[in-house]
Amino acid sequence: MSALSAPTTHSRLADVFESCKQQQRSALVSYLTAGDPDFNTSKELLLALAEQSDILEIGMPFSDPMADGPVIQAASERALAAGTHIADVFKLTASVRAAHPDLAIVLMGYANVPYAIGFDDFAARAKEAGADAVLIVDIPPEEGHICDTALKTHGLDRILLLSPTSTDERIQLACDYASGFIYYVSLTGITGADMGDMQSIHQKVDHIKSICGELPVCVGFGVKTPAQAAQVASFADGVVVGSHFVSHITDARNKADIRAALSASASSMRKAVGV
């Protein structure tokens, strides 16, 4: 195993964090699953969410989302039931990219989808669609051999996760491998669970930063309220909101309501990280 250096071209993610730093605020990192609840609605929702976000995570639906809670599991099931293919994920990415040239876009999902179409093909198409980075939940640094070369070749950052169970050795390993940012999972659990104790999250983030140096650290899993987002923003470089945004799709009585609810919610989160 050898550590990968960050892509040589200046990355959009680096620009986003630099710009947020200048504005003395955290980045809002927003998540939705591609194709949820259907292609056209998903496109509209992703575009609306992009308006308020610094970084957009676009989820690639998978049949077995093992690290996700009920809200994002249901999102994957809705997207697949609506016939979402990997080509649709790239089409949606390209639509968002066309409308938002400065937004950083992260494709997020599970290993088996990119593995099935081949990591090289996947990385080439992701880059062409306008993605900046990839976050694969079930490829830890130790298994990076199956994707690192392809991602590096096509100039995509690789976001890695750290969690409360990560030892110093693992933090060092992730920092050596990751580029773009570190995604700190705030709790030992699945997406959408209740947030852990804010003070211990703060301490762990400081500890990670002391090991990782310049690499930005974003915090996610369980951020549901603007108050939580504001607290996290006080010590992290970015705040990830996922299940909370997806739940607007789950809760909506009709598709027309979703966009308004999502935009309002994203707007209040965006204000919260700016404090």
Cα–Cα dist 193/16, whole Å: 28
Tell me: does residue 82 bind another protein (CB under 8 A).
no
Instruction: For residue 148, indicate whether it is catalytic.
Output: no
Instruction: For residue 18, indicate whether it is catalytic.
Output: no
The closest alpha carbon to 232, from 20, 224, 166, 32, belongs to 224
Strand pairing partners for 158?
A: 134
Least gap, CB of 1 to another protein (angstroms)? 10
Taken in order 150, 77, 71, 25, is the CA torsion positive or negative? positive
Strand pairing partners for 135?
A: 108
Three-state DSSP at 111 gives coil
Please, what is the angle between helix 168-177 and helix 198-212, to 10°? 60
Cα–Cα dist 230/222, whole Å: 13
Which residues within the stretch 223-262 sit at the binding site for another protein (CB under 8 A)? none
Choice from 113, 124, 211, 252 touching another protein (CB under 8 A):
113
Region of 7-15, 114-122, 126-134, 265-273 interacting with another protein (CB under 8 A) = 114-122
Least gap, CB of 43 to another protein (angstroms)? 20
Tell me: does residue 193 bind another protein (CB under 8 A).
yes
Tell me: does residue 143 bind another protein (CB under 8 A).
yes
| Buried-exposed string 204-228: b where 16+ CB fall within 10 A, e elsewhere | bbeebbeebeebbbbbbbbbbebeb
The residue (of 50 and 126) whose beta carbon lies closer to another protein is: 126
Least gap, CB of 61 to another protein (angstroms)? 8
**The one catalytic residue among 36, 54, 68, 132:** 68
Tell me: does residue 166 bind another protein (CB under 8 A).
yes
Least gap, CB of 55 to another protein (angstroms)? 19
Query: ∠ CA(34), CA(181), CA(156), 5° rounding?
Result: 60
Choice from 137, 215, 249, 258 touching another protein (CB under 8 A):
137
Tell me: does residue 112 bind another protein (CB under 8 A).
yes
Q: Which residues of this chain interact with another protein, rule CB under 8 A? A: 62-69, 73, 77, 80, 85-86, 110-117, 137-140, 142-143, 146, 160-167, 170, 174, 185, 187-190, 193
